[in-house]
Structure 1
Amino acid sequence: MRLRRILKLSAPVVGLALALSAVVAPSASAAGELYLELPFSCGTSWTGDSGSSNAHRNNEIDFNLSSGADDRGQPVLAAAGGTIRWEGGATSAYGNYVEIDHGNGYSTLYAHLQDKYAHNGDTVVQGEKIGTVGNTDGNSSGISPHLHFEYRNRGSGQSYPDYIRPASFHGDPFDYATGRETYVSQNCGSTSPSSMPGLSAVSRGVGGLDVFAVTTDGRLKHRNYSSGTWSCWSTLYGNATIKGEPAAITSPGRIDVFAQGIDNRLKKITWTSTHGWYQWADMGDYTITSPPAVTRRSPTGIDVFVKNTANKIVYRNFNIAQSTWTNNWSNIGGNASTTTATSGPAAVANHDGTRMNVFARATDGSLLSLMWTLDHGWYNWADRGGSLNGRPSASTRSGNSVDIFLRDQDNSLIHWYSPDGADWTTYPKSDFGGWLAVSPTAVSWNSGRIDVFSRNSNADLIQKTWISGDPWYAWTGRGPIGAPAC
Structure 2
Amino acid sequence: MHLTRTATVRPLLLAAAVAASSLAFPVAAHAAAPALELPFVCGTSWKGNSNGSSAHRNNEIDFNMTGTSGDEDKGKPVVAAAAGTVRWEGGESSDYGNYVEIDHGGGYSTLYAHLDQKSVGVGDTIHQGELIGTVGNTDGNTSGISAHLHFEFRNRGSGQSYPAYIRPASFHGDPFDYAGGTETFVSQNCGTQAPPTMPGVSSVSRADGSIDVFATTSDNRLKHRNFSAGKWSCWATLPGNAKIKGDPAAVVSANGARIDVFAQGIDNRLKKLTWISGQQWYDWADLGTYTITSSPAVTMRYTTGFDVFARNAANKIVYRHFSIAEGWVNDWTAIGQNAATVSSSSAPAAVASADGTRMNVFARSADGSLLTLMWTSSAGWYNWADRGLAIIGRPAATTRAGTSVDLLLRHYDSSLIQWYSPDGADYTTYKPQDFGGYITTSPTAVTWGSQRMDVFSRNSNGDLIQKFWTAASSWTPYIGLGPVGAPAC
Give the TM-score taking structure 2 as reference length: 0.63
How big is the shift at 1:279? 0.4
How big is the shift at 1:471? 2.5
Counterpart position of 2:214? 212
Percent of aligned positions that are identical:
63
Residue pair 2:206, 2:252 contacting (<8 A) in 1 also: yes
Over the aligned positions, Cα root-mean-square deviation in angstroms equals: 3.1
Counterpart position of 1:249? 251
Q: Equivalences for 1:72-471 in 2 at 5 Å?
A: 190-193=191-194, 195=196, 196-252=198-254, 253-322=257-326, 324-471=327-474
Residue pair 1:192, 1:389 contacting (<8 A) in 2 also: no
Distance 1:190 1:11 in 2: 24
Q: Which runs of 5+ in 2 are unaligned?
A: 1-29, 41-46, 51-58, 60-81, 83-127, 130-167, 176-187
Distance 2:193 2:461 in 1: 14
Q: Counterpart of 2:209 in structure 1: which amino acid?
A: G
Distance 1:431 1:223 in 2: 28
* TM-superposition CA deviations, 1:98-143 (whole Å, max 9, x none): xxxxxxxxxxxxxxxxxxxxxxxxxxxx99xxxxxxxxxxxxxxxx
Larger radius of gyration: 2
Residue pair 1:360, 1:367 contacting (<8 A) in 2 also: yes
How big is the shift at 1:194? 8.2
* TM-superposition CA deviations, 1:249-308 (whole Å, max 9, x none): 000210000000111000100000131100001100000000000000111110000000
How big is the shift at 1:347? 0.1
Distance 2:436 2:282 in 1: 39
Q: Which runs of 5+ in 1 are unaligned?
A: 1-9, 34-79, 81-125, 128-165, 174-186
Q: Counterpart of 2:393 in structure 1: which amino acid?
A: G
How big is the shift at 1:169? 9.0
Aligned residue among 468, 482, 487 for 1:484: 487
Q: Counterpart of 2:317 in structure 1: which amino acid?
A: I
How big is the shift at 1:321? 2.6
Sort the Cα spacing of 1:172 and 1:317 in 2 relative to 1 into closer, same or farther, 3 A. closer
Q: Counterpart of 2:258 in structure 1: which amino acid?
A: R
Distance 1:295 1:11 in 2: 52
Tell me the SS of whatever aligns to 1:480.
coil
Q: Counterpart of 2:416 in structure 1: which amino acid?
A: L
Residue pair 2:195, 2:461 contacting (<8 A) in 1 also: no
Residue pair 1:194, 1:438 contacting (<8 A) in 2 also: no
* TM-superposition CA deviations, 1:45-90 (whole Å, max 9, x none): xxxxxxxxxxxxxxxxxxxxxxxxxxxxxxxxxxx9xxxxxxxxxx
How big is the shift at 1:170? 7.8
Q: Given the alignment of the two structures, is residue 473 of structure 1 paired with residue 476 of structure 2, yes or no?
A: yes
Q: Equivalences for 1:6-45 in 2 at 5 Å?
A: 27=39, 30=48
How big is the shift at 1:425? 0.4
How big is the shift at 1:191? 3.7
Distance 2:428 2:193 in 1: 29
> Aligned pair count?
329
Distance 1:24 1:417 in 2: 36
Tell me the SS of whatever aligns to 1:286.
coil
How big is the shift at 1:193? 4.0
Sort the Cα spacing of 1:445 and 1:382 in 2 relative to 1 into closer, same or farther, 3 A. same
Q: Equivalences for 1:63-74 in 2 at 5 Å?
A: none
Give the TM-score taking structure 1 as reference length: 0.63
How big is the shift at 1:378? 0.9
How big is the shift at 1:443? 0.4
Sort the Cα spacing of 1:356 and 1:169 in 2 relative to 1 into closer, same or farther, 3 A. closer
Sort the Cα spacing of 1:172 and 1:319 in 2 relative to 1 into closer, same or farther, 3 A. closer
Tell me the SS of whatever aligns to 2:435.
strand
Distance 1:245 1:288 in 2: 13
Residue pair 2:37, 2:189 contacting (<8 A) in 1 also: no
Distance 1:199 1:437 in 2: 12
